[in-house]
Amino acid sequence: MNSFARAFYRLLFSPPAYDPDQEKNPRKILIIRQHNQLGDLLASSSLFRAIKAKYPEAKITLVVSPANKDAVAKNKFIDRVVVFDKGKHIWIFEFFRFLSVLREGYDWVIVPVTVSISFTSCLMAGIAKARLKVGPKYLDGKYNEADLFFNRKVVLDWRNHPDMHIAERILDIVKPLGVEPAGYAPEVSVDTVDVAFADQFLNHFEEHHTRPVIGLHTGAGKVPNRWYYKNFVAVIQTLREKYDACIYLTGSSADISTIEKIMEELPFTVLTCIDRSIPEVAAVIARSDLFITNDTGIMHVAGSTATPQISLFGPTNPFVWAPMGTNKVFMQRSDIIDNITVAEVCEVADRLLLLSNKRNKNA
């Protein structure tokens, strides 16, 4: 940002002078998380949960992208979800509608950061009307030129803690405000409609109450995060033969080609759960005995459930991104995801299915 732009933004959007009293007892909080990464958003659940635990009466408004609206529309920690659509906001009506949301008045505005700093998010905080504006001053040693929009500037630096989980990192933006962790699991809230969908979907299986139900997510937005589809075919065949399992595949339209290849090679039929809402997928996974997934957004959706899970990793650091919790297992051999073998995955699946069977018998 050049000096002229910085002076211009400072003239128009300088925050109020900082006062420690601004940190006390917020009643209205605006959180800006408007990028498209589903995993990042679901990892923010620990932030939403912690704020609600500290200030249960506070009303939280969350700004998200259109792609992620489904993931948080029913989130029990969020009181209002506002969509920022870059395409639509070139239109005057949409622009002023969104501007009215930013300007309606808040006690706190927070711009969480984990991987990179978004100038757009910082600018939104600058435009917003609020007493306290919280955002990054530095991220891993890199100065945030948009820090001028904040009156509570936080230094975020995880270079000495490269394996700190993303759900822990997201909390560092509010720890200076006295907000402490209240749990790290992702949150995908479901309602009776989602549960009804899951029941209807699983009823397509014969005797699914007495057979293990196993879901697999075979796609991923990033090619290096995709385990070879023939490996999934081999795992599916092994689990079907060994357990007579009810098997389904989740995905979106972007995954259709991979899913079709898998189904063509299987000598039996599997169900597909394609282009369903995030809460619907979560409800189906929650009623499963095992879920196997690549490192992608649905991995975090599955992480919000109690279902035993195998997450397959290539170049991404699993200590940072893998779901946390009981019976949540990640596998990684190297930066090349295909170095994970079918036999290894099946061995872990055997162990988790045994635990799942014991859990169901004790339920």
pLDDT of res. 363: 46
d(CA 353, CA 358): 9
3.30.450.30, 3.40.50.2000, 3.20.20.450, 3.30.420.40: which CATH number matches 3-177? 3.40.50.2000
The backbone region for 140, taken as left when phi is positive above 0, alpha when psi lies in -120 to 50, beta otherwise, is: left
Closest CA to 217 of 347, 317, 320, 323: 323
Token reading at 263: 């189904």
Could you tell me where the beta strands, DSSP code E, fall in the chain?
28-32, 59-64, 80-83, 106-110, 130-139, 142-143, 152-156, 213-217, 246-251, 271-274, 290-294, 309-312, 328-331
Residues facing residue 116 across a β-bridge? none
Please check whether the two domains, 3-177 and 192-361, share a CATH topology: yes
Domain assignments of the chain as residue spans, ordered by start: 3-177, 192-361
Please name the helix (run of DSSP H) or strand (run of DSSP E) that holds residue 125, with its range, or none. Answer: helix 119-127
Q: If you ran DSSP here, which 8-state letter would residue 176 be given? A: G
For 284-343, write each residue's pLDDT tens digit.
999 999 999 999 999 999 999 999 999 999 999 999 999 999 999 999 999 999 999 999
Angstrom distances, CA of residue 71 to CA of 182, 277, 332: 20, 8, 27
Q: How much helix, strand and coil, in percent to the nearest 5, is found in the chain?
A: 45, 20, 40
Residues contacting 32, CB < 8 A, separation 6+: 63, 109, 110, 111, 121, 124, 125
List the structure tokens of 121.
Answer: 């998010």
**3-class DSSP state of 292:** strand
Residue 6's pLDDT band, with cuts at 50, 70 and 90, is confident
Residue 247, phi then psi, degrees to nearest 5: -120, 135
CATH numeric code, 192-361? 3.40.50.2000
Q: What is this structure's pTM?
A: 0.91
Q: 351 in helix, strand or coil?
A: helix
Residues forming a β-bridge with 31? 62, 110
pLDDT of residue 90: 60
Which pLDDT value is given to residue 151? 96
Is the CB of residue 249 less than 8 Å from the CB of residue 268?
no
Q: What angle do CA 49, 284, 184 make, to 5 degrees?
A: 20
pLDDT grade, residue 75 (50/70/90)?
Answer: very high
Tell me the pLDDT tens digit for each residue of 210-227. Answer: 999 999 999 999 999 999
The per-residue pLDDT for range 157-210, each reduced to its tens digit, is 999 999 999 999 999 999 999 999 999 999 999 999 999 999 999 999 988 889
Average pLDDT, the chain: 93
> What integer pLDDT is reported at residue 89 of this predicted model?
58
* Nearest in space to 300 (alpha carbons), one of 68, 22, 51: 68
Are the beta carbons of 293 and 299 closer than 8 angstroms? Answer: yes
The answer to whether residues 285 and 291 touch, using CB atoms and an 8 Å cutoff, is yes
DSSP SS3 for 34? coil
Is residue 22 over pLDDT 70?
A: yes
Give the pairing type, strands 142-143 and 130-139. antiparallel
pLDDT digits (tens, 9 = 90+) for 241-265: 999 999 999 999 999 999 999 999 9
Specify whether the CB–CB gap between 320 and 164 falls below 8 A: yes
No. of helices (H) and no. of strands (E), the chain: 14, 13
Q: How confident is the model at residue 43 (pLDDT cuts 50, 70, 90)?
A: confident
> Smallest Cα–Cα separation from 111: which of 69, 144, 73?
144
* 151-169 confidence digits (pLDDT tens): 999 999 999 999 999 999 9
